[in-house]
Structure 1
Amino acid sequence: MRAFNAELSKLFSLPGIWLAFLIGAFAPAVIAALDSIAQKEEIIAGVSTRLSEVGYIGLALGVQGVIILGVLAVSSEFLTESSESGGGQQITTSLTVFSSRLHFLLAKAGAVTVISILLCVVAIMTTVSATHLVLGEYAPAFEWSRLIGAVCYWTFTALLALGITVLTKNGIIPLAVLITNTSFVSFSFLLSKVSTLAFYLPDRAGIDMFMSMSDSFHTPFTGGLVMFVWVAVHFIVAVMVFHRRDVAS
């Protein structure tokens, strides 16, 4: 428990974490509001084919906050401190304090999981409020089962970001790839036009946990299971690499 609390304290001490909170809390609401405005006339007329996606699309595209969270949790450990502070890295101190590297990564993953869940709950509240503000009585009913799926999607995405950053020891690559994939160009979506195997990529499978799309491939449970397997495999590989790696290299 002390290790978990220490990781929480470390995360809250990072300046960049507040950017993650800001983006995570409000980006989904902004996306949902814009989508609601674009769809409002069709929804009122009763001809919209995307009513079931309104609101949820903000939770699908607004995961950048937890991506930043997962990346920062690890990349901050490998930042070289200033010469006045000795020019070392936080990871050296962390591994001196923790009894094992596995214990260290589990505590860090636990802290990221808790914060991701709380951040997604806040995002759900702002998103639901924004959708109802724009659409009023025409806003779709938000189902608890789908909202739970969104929470799982955010949490798994944050843990994937954490695992990838452990492998790269650098936050630039995971941030560039994951944020681009979830906001600008979905590589999984493009690949799904070529092969059905793309539906088994983590983000594409995870979306099926809460989005009702015309090209949905998995049931919510299957989509969650596929994404969980990706997270588990990434974490196992990250633990193995981290255990063998000279952190100072």
Structure 2
Amino acid sequence: MTGSREPATTGSHEPATTLVRAVAAELRKTATLPASRGALAVAMLGSLGITVLNAVSVRNALRSGQPEQVGYTSPVEAAFSAFPLGTVGAVILGVVVISSEYTANSPDAGGGRQITATLTATPGRLALLTAKVAAAAVLVLATAAITIPACLALAHLIIGTPFPAATLGETAARAAGTALYWMLTGLIVLAITVLTRSGIIPLIAGIVNSSVVSVSILLTHLTSLAYYLPDLAGLRLHGDDPLDMFPGALDPLPGGLVMAAWTLGLLAVSATVFTRRDA
């Protein structure tokens, strides 16, 4: 008599379980890194600080009867004008998630790199990189979920203008777009750091391009194709440009799709390189 066989289920959920554990481990590791805490502080405290400065300037201009002294009088614009610092924080976090693995330990600890121990704990390289991407995305989005509403509330409190209910939907869309922009920027820099295995070049390039002199903006003077570069493609995810400084910028939906395509493409390239080359 032929015995019945139970369907084999043991281990069928192991890949998913391994990935979940890897994501949790990377979240804990990343959140405890001093550089990561610094990145989150830049995004949160920096944005709040600039919001205060912007809002005070607007309030003083309104009280003096000279609103023309400022580029805008809206508390919403006072808050959103501060959010480039959130992008800088996302850049730093995206770099640190990867570069910390390749930084040499102290001689007392053997002088090795963390990547060796990490790959021992999580042998699947694709799973490891996926976990790092997920950890970075979660931390950036969580930071945005706290920072953006806090900045908006603070700007309204300082300027003294009640929040207009008619613009609630538009403001919520801009907040979501800003959070998406921060996240995609952090993941783009993460992918580049995988390729360089060093955080120096991605960190400098990312911070300078986000806050000082954007190479992409300079390129717009040469060709309108520069608006399809990732940082400019997603520019209007923050909302319309109140000063009309970038008339050729893509609308939020197509711009967001272009920026997302850049992100996915760079992550795919970095995953291929990461899984094939030596640690």
TM-score w.r.t. the length of structure 1 is 0.91
Corresponding residue for residue 12 of structure 1: 31
Task: Map 1:1-249; keep pairs closer than 5 Å.
Answer: 1-40=20-59, 41=61, 50=72, 51=74, 53-137=77-161, 141=167, 143-213=171-241, 214=244, 215-216=246-247, 217-247=249-279
Structure 1 residues not aligned, in runs of 5+: none
Q: CA deviation at 1:211?
A: 2.7
CA distance in 2, matches of 1:28, 1:21: 10
Give the CA deviation at 1:244: 2.1
Which residue of the partner structure matches residue 3 of structure 2? none
Larger Rg: 2
Q: Supply the distance in 2 between the matched residues of 1:192 and 1:101 (Cα, whole angstroms).
A: 38
C-alpha spacing 1:56/1:127, structure 2 compared with 1 (3 Å): same
1:180–1:242 Cα change, 3 Å: same
Shift of 1:61: 4.2
Offset of residue 222 of structure 1: 0.9
- Cα deviations across residues 19-62 of structure 1 (Å, max 9, x unaligned)? 11211112122223323334442697666664464321212343
**1:128-158 C-alpha deviation (Å, 9 max, x unpaired):** 1331133211777561111110110011011
Q: How far apart are 1:212 and its partner, in Å?
A: 1.0
Q: Is the 8 A contact 2:90 2:183 kept in 1?
A: yes
| C-alpha distance 236-62 of structure 1, shift in aligned 2 (>3 A) | same
Distance in 2, matches of 1:83 and 1:126, equals 43
- The structural deviation recorded for 1:7 is 0.4
Is the partner of 1:165 in helix, strand or coil? helix
Q: Note closer, same or farther for the CA distance 1:138–1:187 as it changes in structure 2 (3 Å cut).
A: farther
Q: Secondary structure at the match of 2:142?
A: helix
Q: Report 1 or 2 for greater relative contact order, CA contacts < 8 Å, sequence distance ≥ 6.
A: 1
Across the aligned residues of Structure 1 and Structure 2, the Cα RMSD in angstroms comes to: 2.1
TM-score where L is the length of structure 2: 0.81
Rate the CA distance shift 1:73–1:24 in 2: closer, same or farther, 3 A.
same
Contact 1:26/1:126 (<8 A) preserved: no
2: CA distance between counterparts of 1:42 and 1:218? 33
Describe the shift of the 1:54–1:139 C-alpha distance in structure 2 as closer, same or farther (beyond 3 A): farther
Structure 2: unaligned runs, 5 residues or longer:
1-19
Are the counterparts in 2 of residues 60 and 150 from structure 1 also a CA contact under 8 Å? no
Are the equivalent residues in 2 in contact too, given 1:95–1:101 (CA < 8 A)?
Answer: yes
